[in-house]
């Protein structure tokens, strides 16, 4: 069940998690509690929490903005490779046309 949550919902859930952490023995207990209150999967909230830590530099990993830029550059690179292949094929085609003897 893949459900999209709004940015406001994510921010609210993370704020609630921050407030609930001192009342629980560990992070996962707080995650399960808050996720249950909001009717979402504890795994979703845990991933949001981990992503926030990575983005804040508190945990090793690739920050969201860097990951998005990498994704954009990979897409752009793929488009440029396709364009390059088309240009190579066109140059081969036109080179053969120039080498063909004229029938005038």
Residues 23 and 54 in one domain: yes
Same domain, 55 and 70: no
Write out the chain in H/E/C secondary structure: CCCCCCHHHHHHHHHHHHHHHHHCCCHHHHHHHHHHHHCCCHHHHHHHHHHHHHHCCCCCCCCHHHHHHHHHHHHHHHHHHHHHHHHHHHHHHHHHHHHCCCCC
| pLDDT, one tens digit for every residue, the chain (104 residues) | 556 899 999 999 999 999 999 999 999 999 999 999 999 999 999 999 999 999 999 999 999 999 999 999 999 999 999 999 999 999 998 888 887 776 65
Range of the domain at 98: 62-104
How many separate domains does the chain show? 2
pTM for the full predicted model:
0.69
Same domain, 52 and 66: no
**Same structural domain for residues 53 and 39?**
yes
44 and 2 co-located in one domain: yes
- 83 and 43 together in one domain: no
Same domain assignment for residues 97 and 55: no
Does residue 25 sit in the same domain as residue 57?
yes
Is the domain of 53 the same as that of 90?
A: no
Same domain, 2 and 47: yes
Query: Domain check: are 13 and 43 in the same one?
Result: yes
């Amino acid at each position: 069940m893949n459900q999209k949550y709004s940015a406001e919902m994510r921010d609210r859930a993370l704020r609630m998690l921050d407030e609930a952490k001192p009342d629980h023995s560990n992070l996962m207990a707080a995650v399960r509690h808050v996720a249950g209150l909001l009717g979402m999967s504890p795994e979703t909230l845990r991933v949001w929490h981990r992503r926030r830590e990575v983005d804040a530099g508190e945990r090793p990993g690739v920050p969201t903005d860097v990951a998005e830029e990498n994704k954009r550059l990979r897409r752009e690179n793929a488009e440029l490779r396709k364009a390059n292949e088309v240009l190579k094929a066109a140059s081969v085609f036109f080179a053969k046309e120039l080498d063909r003897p004229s029938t005038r």
